[in-house]
Each structure stands twice: as structure tokens, then as C-alpha cells.
């Protein structure tokens, strides 16, 4: 095949944002404003996290998306985020990670029984802390935290956890809803913890925002337990797809308006205000 006849080789789309809401808004708007319904590949990088491990969000974007998800009978943002990190249990544990892990082990059978179709193969946090084999009884997060700063010069490749398991997940089934998130790594830096996640595919409409929020909450938990700030979250997605809703669906309008307002540049002060601000 000649070079001229080769199909287009797409470059990654890189989106930088100061919140999970902005990352979602910029991604959604890019798909809506370009041909097709996919971005392949997509790389997101988010910072702007608070000193107290707060996860900044735009309330208008979040509310508009949750309202649309409810209208389309999809799981809300918090429910999707919970599959990656159980924030409510962490709040109940009051900063005690042993209690968090204990609470989750107790609750997981209920989560699976509540929705056997979606959760029959497991949940992301379950794979991270109940993988089924490995040190710390398969609790990959506890292994990472127990080894962190245990001695000088610990290799950084140690701080990684997987959710994909070839033994359970290599299947010829045409459609599988789990696991799309494959891998997470944690990189302590001078600025704080940098967390990296990789998705093979991702559903932009009903999963992406919750995915970003859950990953940010997981990263904040790990940073808290390491005693360092949360500096950045990077998410690489092989194929990001806008499915289960069409671009022309009129129900999208409030979400689109909120997304555009979220990414709009802050208004510049008028010339008179600039002059007034100058010292006499």
C-alpha cells in the first residue's frame, strides 16, 4: 500500500483541565463539534485539586448530566464513581483504611446481588482490593501503601494495580461491560501524587464523568494515605465513544449549555476597571 493510500493515522487528542467537570465538558464538546462519535485515542490530564484532597466540580455540569442520565434511565454520576472508589464508605471509616477495606468486603456481596447483570464479574474497587491472588490477600492498594516509603530507593514500578485479569476477562463474548478500566499507577513526585489510568474503551455519555470522579477520589485516597498532596490525574483512553444517545437529541441541550459555560474563558475586566486598579 502506498503512503498516499494509507488510511489516516489519528494523533491523540490531548485535553488539559482544572476539574473533572471541565475535562468532561471539553471532551463532550469536541465530539459534538467534530464528525463521528469517537475519539481514538484520548488523553486527559487534570489538576487543581484542593489541599484537603477536595475534588473540584462544576455544579451546573454535574446537575445537568445527572438530570439527563435520570431522564434516560441511566446510573447517575455518583453511582458510576462508586464502582471505582466507595467514597461513602471512606467517609464512614473516618480516615481508617482498614475499616474502609472491612466495610467494602462486608458490602460487596450485596452490591453484586443488587445488580447481577452489571456487577456479576465484579467491580473496579473490588478488583483493586480483592483481586483473588497476590500479596496482602490480593489487596493491591494495601500492598502499595504498605510498601510506600518502606525503605529508600523503592522502585516506582511497584506502585501499580490492575483490574483486568486474562483468566477471567479474555472472552469471545461480543459485548462486555466490564472491565474497561485496565490499569492504574501511582507516581509520588515532588509536587505530590500523580495518578495514571488506562481505559481500553470508554462510554462518554453515561460513564465518563463518573469514571473521572471515581479515579480522582481513588487518587485522593491514595495521596492521603501516603501523606502527600494530590497533584495530577492522567487518563488515557484507547477509544472514547459517544453512544446510547445521539448528538441531535434535544434532551442534550441543557448539558451542552452547561458544558459551554464551564469552558468559556473568564471575562476580561474593562479598560476603565483596569485603569482604576492601577496605583495613582
Q: Residues 6 or more apart from 108 whose CB is under 8 A from it?
A: 123, 126, 130
* Average pLDDT rounded to a whole number, residues 6-11: 73
> What are the extents of the domains in the chain?
15-264
* Euclidean distance between CA atoms 83 and 93, whole angstroms: 17
Q: What is the pLDDT of residue 149?
A: 73
Do the beta carbons of residue 104 and residue 89 sit within 8 Å? yes
Q: Is the per-residue pLDDT at 247 higher than 60?
A: yes
Contacts of 244 (CB under 8 A, 6+ apart): 72, 74, 203, 205, 206
Place 274 in a pLDDT band, splitting at 50, 70 and 90. Answer: low
Q: Write down the pLDDT at residue 172.
A: 66
- The count of other CB atoms within 10 Å of the CB of residue 212 is 29
- Distance (Å, whole) CA 25 – CA 18: 11
Q: Which residues contact 143 (CB under 8 A, 6 or more apart)?
A: 134, 135, 136
**Greater model confidence, 277 or 41:** 41
Residues 6+ apart with CB under 8 A from 263: 22, 25, 26, 29
Q: Is this model's pTM higher than 0.95 or not?
A: no
Residue 268: what pLDDT?
A: 73
**DSSP alpha helices (H): ranges in the chain?**
20-33, 59-71, 77-82, 87-93, 97-114, 116-119, 124-129, 140-147, 166-169, 208-226, 253-263, 271-277
Q: Which pLDDT score, from 0 to 100, does residue 176 have? A: 62
53 has a pLDDT exceeding 90:
yes
Are residues 13 and 41 in contact, defined by beta-carbon separation less than 8 angstroms? yes
Closest CA relative to residue 41, chosen from 192, 237, 231: 237
Q: Which CATH number fits domain 15-264: 3.30.572, 3.40.50, 3.90.1750, 2.60.40?
A: 3.30.572
Confidence of residue 275 (pLDDT cuts 50, 70, 90): low
Cα within 13 Å of Cα(269), Cβ side: 8
Which band of pLDDT confidence, cut at 50, 70 and 90, is reported for residue 165? confident
Q: How confident is the model at residue 152 (pLDDT cuts 50, 70, 90)?
A: low
DSSP 85: -
Closest CA to 180 of 150, 213, 141, 208: 208
Q: Are the beta carbons of 255 and 64 closer than 8 angstroms?
A: yes
Amino acid at each position: 500500500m502506498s503512503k498516499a493510500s494509507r488510511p489516516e493515522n489519528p494523533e491523540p487528542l490531548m485535553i488539559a483541565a482544572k476539574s473533572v467537570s471541565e475535562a468532561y465538558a471539553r471532551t463532550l464538546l469536541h465530539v459534538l463539534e467534530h464528525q463521528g462519535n469517537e475519539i481514538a485515542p484520548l488523553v486527559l490530564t487534570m489538576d487543581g485539586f484542593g489541599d484537603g484532597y477536595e475534588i473540584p466540580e462544576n455544579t451546573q455540569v454535574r446537575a445537568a448530566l445527572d438530570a439527563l442520565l435520570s431522564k434516560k434511565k441511566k446510573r447517575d454520576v455518583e453511582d458510576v464513581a462508586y464502582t471505582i472508589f466507595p467514597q461513602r464508605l471512606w467517609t464512614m471509616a473516618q480516615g481508617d483504611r482498614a475499616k474502609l477495606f472491612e466495610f467494602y468486603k462486608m458490602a460487596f456481596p450485596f452490591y453484586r446481588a443488587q445488580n447481577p447483570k452489571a456487577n456479576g464479574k465484579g467491580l473496579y474497587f473490588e478488583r483493586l482490593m480483592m483481586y483473588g491472588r497476590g500479596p496482602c490477600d490480593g489487596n493491591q492498594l494495601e500492598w502499595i501503601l504498605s510498601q510506600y516509603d518502606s525503605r529508600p530507593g523503592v522502585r516506582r514500578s511497584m506502585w501499580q494495580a490492575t483490574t483486568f485479569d486474562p483468566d477471567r476477562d479474555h472472552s469471545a463474548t461480543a459485548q462486555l461491560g466490564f472491565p474497561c478500566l485496565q490499569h492504574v499507577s501511582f507516581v509520588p513526585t515532588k509536587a505530590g501524587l500523580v495518578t495514571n489510568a488506562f481505559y481500553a474503551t470508554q462510554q462518554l455519555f453515561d460513564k465518563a464523568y463518573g469514571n473521572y470522579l471515581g479515579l480522582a477520589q481513588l487518587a485522593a485516597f491514595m495521596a492521603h494515605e501516603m501523606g502527600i498532596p494530590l497533584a495530577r490525574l492522567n487518563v488515557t483512553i484507547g477509544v472514547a465513544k459517544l453512544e446510547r444517545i445521539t448528538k441531535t437529541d434535544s434532551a442534550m441541550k441543557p448539558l451542552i449549555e452547561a458544558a459551554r459555560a464551564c469552558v468559556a474563558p473568564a471575562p476580561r475586566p474593562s479598560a476603565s476597571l483596569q485603569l482604576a486598579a492601577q496605583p495613582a
